[in-house]
């Protein structure tokens, strides 16, 4: 079966489930979205060719309500296709279960979830096909009337059938505080601690480490949102990442097979500031600016750049436009995003500037 047929068959299967159950199942909920866009640098390296893309996403969930508990069994399918000969298309299917118990004292809750997912790639990247097992526990409470506290513990197990050296386990812990004021201001603090460890013995030789490669990172983020009137608000955040354990930075000829694309690969600072304005026709406009300073440390390239240090600074100018249409309990949301990125780097391969644009239509039911 070709990659293109595999994409559309998975998506069509989900559509059939939706059509077959929409009429009489009051406990069915979900969303269906289609979108497209354009990227000048799909992988974030300078010599890439620009590419258009199409996206399709279907999420279905059966919701059961007990005396106190709520259960959810869900299925999701997400497909991406890229043009211009860029073999980055993928199809992801996932089956998940979730349990939630609301608190009797406040809007808090406890919950747990489990998802099994499998993702396949197109053509020359097909050997990156993998399976994920994800689990989480969450607790949300309001110790004070205007203070929310939440803790989420997650665990991921990923397996690559054709590339066992890429398999890893990843535990994470997120702690979040939010304080709400009567004037429409929210102040928040996020603390995120994560670790990633490769578990196959082949990983040591591939990443050229004496033991099984692993890494860990601590990230802290300050969040602010504030209402400036009936139609105007702002949001801002600042985040700092700290590497707790050195990351293996070996890079072969294929940048797609690079840990530099990993969340843990850099430490440094990121920030964002945006205004949100409700304009004519109930259109939301959100212009903003984002900035990042990312330190990747020493890179062990196989070629002449071996031992080079990579550090990137990037600035994004963006505009989000969004509108929601309502009909009874259903919603239709249109969202478009336009971004211009200017990135400088100590390495030529990561020095570029370019546009990206996307538009998505999502139906919630």
pLDDT at res. 104: 84
pLDDT at res. 252: 60
The pTM is what?
A: 0.86
- Count of CB atoms situated within 10 Å of the CB of 25: 10
Whether the predicted pLDDT of 9 surpasses 60 = no
Lowest mean pLDDT among 61-65, 91-95, 169-173, 175-179: 61-65
Whether the predicted pLDDT of 145 surpasses 90 = no
Cβ(322)–Cβ(333) under 8 Å? yes
Number of H helices, E strands in the chain: 2, 18
Whether the predicted pLDDT of 264 surpasses 90 = no
pLDDT at res. 156: 98
Distances in Å between the alpha carbon of 272 and those of 221, 233, 323, 324, 358? 11, 14, 22, 24, 20
Structural domains in the chain plus CATH codes: 163-364 (2.40.160)
CA atoms of 155 and 133, how far apart (whole Å): 8
pLDDT at res. 20: 47
DSSP state of 127: G
Whether the predicted pLDDT of 307 surpasses 80 = no
Whether the predicted pLDDT of 124 surpasses 60 = yes
Question: What are the pLDDT digits (tens) for 218-263?
Answer: 999 999 999 999 999 999 999 999 999 877 666 665 554 555 567 7
> Residue holding tokens 């500037």?
353
Return the closest-CA partner of residue 174 out of 234, 219, 121, 125. 219
CA atoms of 270 and 265, how far apart (whole Å): 14
CA atoms of 113 and 25, how far apart (whole Å): 23
Maximum average pLDDT range among 18-22, 63-67, 151-155: 151-155
CA atoms of 125 and 246, how far apart (whole Å): 28
CA atoms of 85 and 49, how far apart (whole Å): 9
């Amino acid at each position: 079966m070709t990659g293109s047929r595999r994409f559309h068959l998975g998506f069509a299967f989900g559509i059939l489930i939706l059509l077959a159950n929409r009429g009489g199942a009051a406990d069915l909920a979900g969303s269906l979205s289609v979108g497209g866009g354009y990227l000048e640098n799909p992988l974030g390296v300078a010599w890439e060719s620009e590419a258009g893309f199409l996206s399709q996403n279907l999420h279905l969930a059966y919701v059961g309500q007990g005396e106190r508990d709520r259960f959810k069994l869900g299925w999701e399918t997400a497909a991406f296709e890229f043009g211009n000969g860029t073999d980055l298309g993928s199809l992801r299917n996932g089956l998940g279960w979730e349990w939630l118990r609301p608190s009797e004292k406040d809007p808090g809750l406890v919950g747990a979830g489990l998802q099994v997912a499998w993702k396949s790639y197109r053509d020359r990247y097909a050997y990156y096909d993998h399976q994920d097992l994800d689990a989480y526990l969450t607790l949300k409470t309001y110790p004070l009337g205007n203070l929310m506290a939440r803790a989420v513990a997650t665990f991921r197990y990923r397996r690559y059938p054709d590339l066992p050296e890429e398999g890893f386990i990843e535990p994470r812990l997120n702690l979040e505080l939010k304080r709400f004021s009567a004037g429409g201001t929210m102040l928040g603090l996020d603390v995120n601690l994560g670790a990633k460890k490769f578990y196959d013995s082949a990983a040591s030789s591939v990443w050229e480490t004496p033991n099984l490669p692993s890494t860990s990172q601590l990230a802290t983020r300050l969040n602010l949102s504030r209402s400036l009137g009936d139609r105007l608000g702002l949001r801002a955040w600042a985040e700092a990442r700290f590497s707790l354990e050195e990351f293996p930075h070996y890079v072969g000829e294929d940048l797609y097979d690079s840990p530099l694309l990993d969340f843990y690969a850099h430490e440094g600072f990121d920030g964002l500031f945006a205004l949100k304005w409700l304009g004519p026709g109930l259109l939301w406009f959100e212009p903003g600016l984002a900035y990042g300073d990312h330190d990747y440390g020493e890179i062990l390239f196989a070629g002449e750049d071996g031992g080079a240090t990579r550090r990137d600074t990037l600035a994004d100018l963006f505009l989000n436009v969004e509108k929601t249409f309502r009909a009874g309990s259903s919603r239709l949301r249109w969202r478009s995003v336009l971004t211009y990125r200017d990135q400088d780097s100590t390495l030529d391969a990561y020095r570029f500037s370019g546009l990206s644009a996307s538009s998505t239509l999502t139906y919630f039911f």
